[in-house]
Amino acid sequence: MKARMPPEQQAGPLAVSLADRIAKDGPLTVAAYMEACLTDPDAGYYATRQPLGAHGDFITAPEISQIFGELIGLWTIATWQALGQPERITVVELGPGRGTLLRDALRSWRNFPDFRRRIALALVERGEALKSLQAETLAPEAERSPPVGLAWYESFENVPNGPLIVIANEFLDALPIRQFVRRGDAWHERLVTRTDGGKLAFTETDAPIRAVAELDRFADAREGAIAEIRPGAAALVSELAARAETGPIAALFVDYGPEAFGPGDTLQAVSAHGFTDPLADPGAADLTAHVDFGALARQAATEGLSAYGPMPQGEFLLKLGLAQRQEQLMKTATPDQRSMLASGANRLIDPQQMGVLFKAFVLTGSAPGSDRGGRTRPPPPPFTSQS
């Protein structure tokens, strides 16, 4: 195996334990490396850091503008209506961060008491520190009349069955990826190893990888090209399809990735609002990779789900009423608040910022024969046809 050494590594505690693990068990897949960097209970990124906000490593759409969460809240109500207005429905957020999105969504539900009475909120979160922060953020709004119940779950699989609306903002991009390198007419899995000096470096399997059907669509890739697949996203689609057998479901994913996904190395590390080497200091940076929306849509079709999008985030938010909500807020805002409202909204929809790279993608499904009178349910807002 030939290893490629990244520049200027630091030997943090996770780097040391990963080097020991590799020495004992052999090189790690990129997926296993990402999983350790992000979720190691002692030294992983999410266990040891508060990543969001100006003093963190990155900022997400709900933290940029309250309008984002408010519009998602209104989307949730319209989607509940499109699902047939079930008597009870669980609204799930995967990776709720500081709880900002749901707090703003709850505020948008103040004028819809009938909807509030029918829902329960489920937050899928592993980190104990984040759970406490989310509870603090959400309690004041959730306790308003009529109150909305809050519950936390370690994984989506633990959320009770029944009608569901799932919200996942910048969740898929952090699910670990496997990477493969094209050599001749075969693929070799990309691995993380350690050099003789104990540093981490990329390498490849000596033997080609066989029977990975997801790689078939990259058959025309050139020598040395890197292809990526995301097993966790595929498992999530399968879980959603299984949930649709117990009640109507809709899942909204807002994440970043290209319209057409092809070969390329999209693994990146973010620290202090800038990019850094993914191997430089394991556990000290957020690791993400682009989302392959096309792969999700193809799998959804094979499992009986309907897929809508991806739609550029700017278009999605404008169709949901971003301009109207911004104008409404401007009427009572101070000059400083107006400036913040304008800059935040623009950042969300500007094609040169988040407006095009980020996409909205929705999956829906329900058990056969569950629609009354054989009606075809309308698509989720603001989509008008399936992709």
Domain of residue 171, CATH code = 3.40.50.150
Does residue 134 sit in the same domain as residue 248? yes
Q: Which residue has the tokens 């047939």?
A: 84
Does residue 188 sit in the same domain as residue 243? no
CA atoms within 13 A on the CB side of 4: 9
pLDDT given at position 370: 54
- Domain assignment present for residue 210? The answer is yes
Cα separations in angstroms, 277 against 45, 268, 270 = 15, 7, 9
* Domain ranges, residue 340: 63-175+231-257+292-368
- Domain assignment present for residue 2? The answer is no
Contact of 238 with 282, CB cutoff 8 Å: no
Contact of 297 with 364, CB cutoff 8 Å: no
In what helix (H) or strand (E) does residue 293 lie, and over which residues does it extend?
Answer: helix 293-302
335-349 and 313-320 helices cross at what angle (nearest 10)? 130
- Domain assignment present for residue 237? The answer is yes
Encoding tokens for residue 160?
Answer: 């009770």
pLDDT given at position 50: 63
pLDDT given at position 119: 96
Does residue 156 sit in the same domain as residue 88? yes
CB atoms within 10 A of CB 33: 25
Sign of CA dihedral 306, 166, 70, 74: positive
Strand boundaries in 221-273, DSSP class E: 226-229, 249-256, 268-271
Encoding tokens for residue 114?
Answer: 């009938």
Does residue 191 sit in the same domain as residue 147? no
pLDDT given at position 15: 84
Does residue 79 sit in the same domain as residue 147? yes
Does residue 225 sit in the same domain as residue 323? no
Cα separations in angstroms, 194 against 16, 36, 155 = 10, 15, 32
Does residue 161 sit in the same domain as residue 187? no
For residues 177 and 158, give the distance between their C-alpha atoms in angstroms, rounded to a whole number: 23
pLDDT given at position 48: 66
Contact of 201 with 22, CB cutoff 8 Å: no
Sign of CA dihedral 349, 355, 358, 360: positive
DSSP character at residue 237: H
Does residue 222 sit in the same domain as residue 240? no
- Domain assignment present for residue 27? The answer is yes
CA atoms within 13 A on the CB side of 265: 14
User: How many residues can be counted in the chain?
Assistant: 387
* Sequence-distant (≥ 6) Cβ neighbours of residue 290 within 8 angstroms: 173, 228, 256, 257, 258, 261, 266
Does residue 221 sit in the same domain as residue 235? no
Question: Structurally, how many domains does the chain consist of?
Answer: 2
- Domain assignment present for residue 376? The answer is no
Contact of 127 with 100, CB cutoff 8 Å: no
Does residue 93 sit in the same domain as residue 139? yes
pTM: 0.91
Chain-centre distance of CA 286, in angstroms? 13
For residues 272 and 151, give the distance between their C-alpha atoms in angstroms, rounded to a whole number: 31
Does residue 163 sit in the same domain as residue 308? yes
- Domain assignment present for residue 8? The answer is no
- Domain assignment present for residue 267? The answer is no
Rounded average pLDDT per 10-residue block, the chain, 387 residues: 42 82 93 92 72 60 96 97 95 96 97 96 90 95 95 96 97 96 95 86 93 88 96 97 95 94 93 79 89 96 96 98 96 93 96 96 81 63 75
Encoding tokens for residue 54?
Answer: 């100006």
Cα separations in angstroms, 233 against 172, 240, 325 = 7, 11, 33
Q: What are the strands of the beta sheet with 268-271, ordered from one edge?
A: 274-276, 268-271, 286-288
Encoding tokens for residue 287?
Answer: 């690791």
pLDDT given at position 8: 46
Encoding tokens for residue 2?
Answer: 């030939």
pLDDT given at position 275: 78
Does residue 84 sit in the same domain as residue 96? yes
- Domain assignment present for residue 286? The answer is no
